[in-house]
Copies of this chain bind each other. A is one copy, B any other.
């Protein structure tokens, strides 16, 4: 893989992720992507054979941050710690990968017609693990008797909303872009809401001991 190839593929994927996020798959024109990348249209076809292929490359290029966010569930067993870290990680994804988040959201809203099955499975696997862990906390009396699935749905929705519905959020807050402080506030308030709302025993002792 030559330097030029690598470089141009990156340019194109970056441009594509922005435009796919902005307009959705069907409304996106290859020439727009080419223009944003500063390249002629046939180059896009030279490096990626088709629009669909490019789209899949975009999705694949951004899976990692999305999957990484679930790490806290594998690294600890204290509900307060895990849930807090998970929420922070999720909001960070929305903040740092807004395009990726939107492409994914749009994809899932329309029934995930392009999502490779192995990726869908990986995410499903993570979900099962996370649910089981939450259930175990419930069983051990470390938090209220919540339904793990509904809890996850709420966390996903509340964290992703900062990327997916940024237009709405801009309008309501009156800011074109949220500041670091805004994201911190969001994460902190949501953490508080979830922990307190689920009656999580915030036992730092459990971690220290």
Residues of B within 8 A of A195 (CB): 197
Q: Is A22 an interface residue (CB 8 A)?
A: yes
* List of B residues within 8 angstroms of A119 by Cβ: none
Do the beta carbons of B172 and A124 come within 8 Å of each other?
yes
Measured CA separation A190–B154 after assembly (Å): 8
Number of copies: 2
Q: Of the candidates B156, B158, B197, which one forms a contact with A153 in the assembled complex, judged by CB atoms under 8 Å apart?
A: B158
Complex: A194 Cα to B185 Cα, angstroms:
17
Minimal beta-carbon separation of A145 from chain B (angstroms): 10
Asked if residues B173 and A149 are in contact (CB atoms below 8 Å), the reply is yes
CB-nearest residue of chain B to A199 = B196
What does the 1/0 interface line of A158-200 toward B look like (CB < 8 Å)? 1011101101110111000000000001100110111111110
A105 to chain B, nearest CB (A): 7
- Do the beta carbons of A192 and B197 come within 8 Å of each other? yes
How long is the Cα–Cα vector from A27 to B109 in the complex, in angstroms? Answer: 13
CA distance A149 to B197 in the complex (A): 18
Asked if A109 meets B154 with Cβ closer than 8 Å, knowing A193-B198, A196-B197, the reply is no
For the complex of A and B, the 5 pairs showing the least CB-CB separation, nearest first, are: A197-B197, A26-B27, A193-B197, A157-B161, A26-B26
